[in-house]
Amino acid sequence: MLFKNNSSQRSDKELQKNTIGELKPHNAPIILVEYDPSWPEWFEREANRIHSVLGSKALQVEHVGSTSVPGLCAKPIIDMILVVKDSANEPSYVPAMEAAGYKLQIREPEWFEHRLFKGPDTDINLHVFSLGTAEIDKMLRFRDWLRSNEMDRNKYAEVKRSLANSKWRHVQHYADAKTSIVQEIMERSNGAR
Give pLDDT, residue 7: 47
- The structure's pTM equals 0.92
Percent of the chain with pLDDT over 70: 95
CATH superfamily assigned to domain 27-191: Beta Polymerase, domain 2 (3.30.460.10)
Query: What is the 3 state secondary structure string of the chain?
Result: CCCCCCCCCCCHHHHHHHECCCCCCCCECCCCECCCCCHHHHHHHHHHHHHHHHHHHCCEEEEECHHHCCCCCECCCEEEEEEECCCCCHHHCHHHHHHCCCEEEEEECCCCCEEEEECCCCCEEEEEEECCCHHHHHHHHHHHHHHHCHHHHHHHHHHHHHHHCCCECCHHHHHHHCHHHHHHHHHHHHHCC
Q: Where are the domains of the chain?
A: 27-191
Confidence of residue 4 (pLDDT cuts 50, 70, 90): low
Confidence of residue 21 (pLDDT cuts 50, 70, 90): confident
Give pLDDT, residue 163: 96
Residues 4-16: what's their mean pLDDT?
A: 69
Q: pLDDT, tens digit, for every residue of 25-74?
A: 899 999 999 999 999 999 999 999 999 999 999 999 999 999 999 999 99
Please state which of the ranges 5-14, 29-38, 78-87 shows the lowest mean pLDDT.
5-14
Residues 73-97: what's their mean pLDDT?
A: 98
Give pLDDT, residue 2: 52
